[in-house]
A and B are shown apart, each in its own frame.
Chain A
Amino acid sequence: MSTESLRIVWIYPDLLSTYGDRGNALILARRARQRGMPVEVLEVRSDERLPATADIYLVGGGEDGPQALGAQRLIADGGLHRAVAQGSVVFGVCAGYQLLGMSFFAKGVQCRGLELLDLQSDRGPSRAVGELAGEIDPRLGLPALTGFENHGGRTHLGPEVSPLARVTAGVGNDGATEGAWRGKLLGTYSHGPALARNPALADLLLRWATGAHQLPPLDDTWSDRLRNERRAAVAAARA
């Protein structure tokens, strides 16, 4: 963690903010402040240099054009690669998850990714739209993943990354696994404000960023109710 305060960078909200992506920055900042940590949230637009010294970087979802443009600019900028080399946390969502990999497809063309995660994405036979749920990798010690997905991609994981979760509803990477993680880098197809439904995942990112083994618990009454309701809705849809 940088010395003064926890620094969270929201990468390119002008390109990669299709649907509520701001939520992840708001949720991380709030949960840190509730634990008494001073927080600074920086929104870095695509015509600005990316600071390489922040603690957490958020890469959100986007349409094909902005996704391809965002990847190009992040590669040219180099700031995210320097940050990762220094041990920063990166959380990628949907298009932002895909572009952390080796390659992805946008507008029918294969594009170079940031090559930070060993995975590649192509187009699936149909668009995956709906509730997404999964059992998270037990090594991360988190409760089940819940979210909403809306993407046309299929993602193939290489040996250097682990799946974030085993899919119990929805598609995720390929209908079997969902998301990926390695070190302090984590990506998911659970789009938009993914942390709203997964406060324990938010706390994992905060623990990674601060080095804390444990964080004081917070009142998560409303997110617990939301999680239970979504779990029931997924079960009812299956029955």
Chain B
Amino acid sequence: MPLRAKVASSVSRTAAALSRAAGRGDGSVIGGWIGLKIDPDLLAHLSAGRAIALVSGTNGKTTTTRLTAAAVGVLGRVATNSFGANMPTGHTSALAKAGSTPYAVLEVDEHYLAQVLEATEPHVVALLNLSRDQLDRAKEVAMMAQLWRAALVRHTDVRVVANADDPMVVWAATPPADPARGINPPHVTWFSAGQRWHDDSWVCPECGSTIQRSGGQWWCTGCPLRRPEPQWVVEDEGVLDPTGAWHKVSLQLPGKVNLGNAATALAVAAEFGVRPVDAVSRLGIVTSVAGRYAQVDKDGRNIRLLLAKNPASWLEAFDMADEAPTLLSINARDPDGLDTSWLFDVDFAPLRGRQVLITGDRAYDLAVRLDVNDVPFQHVRTFDDAIRSVPPGRLEVIANYTAFQDIRAELDRVN
């Protein structure tokens, strides 16, 4: 590593430690920010000599990254940005903090995938899904798919592990080859993790025709784009690998969506030569991820935290949550997106029959939505009021990003 990079890396670690000691944060961003100021190529320098996997998509990145790091851990030490700090500053911090490791598994914000592919030259990149998320400032879905596609054309040596169930991902992962100019299609391994949310992929990104769906399959009615045959498939409480062997997956994380994330993790680890039979038991050690799925006992209530940031992830959260009193909390601060319109893309009907409490900066937006949805609810001002309003036992908490962080802070930043 060049001297400048060594200095930058050392300062970066110090700043992160100071940030944690001062109680200002978990240090997962500030260290990288300072390090990159000193050496703009620090991320590339820190990546050199490591076998790296990137994990990107709208939903499930943080959990899949954690599961993948656990699976790759079969081979040796793995650096990872496990606090969800998923931009280049976070990657820089994570790699600097980890020191020298043979492997790294990095969660990447979907907008930064091209940049991070360039800097880290990964061995494999996992593409999970693309759906609407914070449209007041984020790229629209089709534009995002186009950016991924353009980035993969420039890195045809990288191995791609991609979701066969998401038409936008499939299109992004299969850029047109141009052998005359030395551009070969990337090597893609497909997994099937299911997709509950379909509203961003009714229109073919290739030709604009309607996409049809039936029995888990999908195909474009106007061009050859269709669901590829997946090599890794979720089946019952386990995962089928490309040889047809079925592996029982026992997770401590709830929901079918996390079985899909486990299948993805096994597929990515396999690209490093990890056999699923060796990795599968390690997936069970992952309990909660940066507070997601964390359970806290307080005042006789067993509080479980579920993060839901956009319509697709709300549908998954309802699937995971028990039939128990449920607190919903909505903010619309910068990290959440300022626009609450997406609430009308979510059908809250699964909550009928449960005791529903609402809170957060934008509780009134949620109130209007639930009213239209015929879901009775009670508005509470504080998290403590919410706890007092429910009987002892399970309290499910579903919140969007900053609302989730607020509640996590009330619970001593539970991980």
Contacts and interface: CB of A to CB of B under 8 A. Distances in A.
Is chain B a partner of chain A in the same complex? yes
A46 B339 CA distance: 27
A69 B208 contact: yes
A90 B140 CA distance: 26
B345 A22 contact: yes
A150 B368 contact: no
Interface residues of A, number: 34
Given A19-B135, A45-B210, A192-B344, A222 B364 contact: yes
B344 A22 contact: yes
B210 A14 contact: yes
A94 to B, nearest CB: 10
Contacts of A229: 364
Most A C-beta atoms less than 10 A away, residue of B135, B339, B342, B368: B368
* Majority DSSP secondary structure for residues of A touching B: mixed
Interface in A48-106: 63, 65-66, 69
Interface stretch (A23-31, A116-124, A159-167): A23-31
Given A26-B372, A63-B140, A192-B341, A17 B210 contact: no
B341 A222 contact: no
Given A66-B203, A69-B208, A150 B135 contact: yes
A154 interface: no
A182 interface: no
Contacts of B365: 196, 226
A21 B132 CA distance: 13
A129 interface: yes
Contacts of A47: 210, 221
Interface in A180-227: 191-193, 196-197, 222-223, 225-226
A10 interface: no
Interface string B80-104: 0000000000000000000000000
Nearest to A21: B344
Nearest to B370: A222
B135 A18 contact: yes
B341 A193 contact: yes
Given A18-B132, A20-B344, A222 B210 contact: no
A150 B339 contact: yes
Interface string B130-156: 001001110010110000000000000
Contacts of B203: 14-15, 65-66, 69
B383 interface: no
B345 A19 contact: yes
B77 to A, nearest CB: 43
A14 B202 contact: yes
Given A20-B344, A69-B208, A226-B365, A196 B202 contact: no
B369 interface: yes
Contact of A23 (B132, B339, B372): B372
B197 to A, nearest CB: 13
A15 B203 CA distance: 7
Contacts of A23: 341, 343-344, 369, 372
B334 to A, nearest CB: 12
B371 A222 contact: yes
B367 A222 contact: yes
Interface string A1-44: 00000000000011101111111001100100000000000000
Given A20-B343, A63-B140, 17 more contacts: A14-B202, A19-B132, A19-B339, A19-B341, A19-B342, A20-B341, A22-B344, A30-B372, A63-B143, A66-B203, A129-B338, A148-B340, A148-B341, A192-B339, A225-B364, A226-B367, A229-B364
Interface of B: 132, 135-137, 140, 142-143, 199, 202-203, 208, 210, 221, 338-345, 364-365, 367-369, 371-373
Interface of A: 13-15, 17-23, 26-27, 30, 45-47, 63, 65-66, 69, 129-130, 148, 150, 191-193, 196-197, 222-223, 225-226, 229
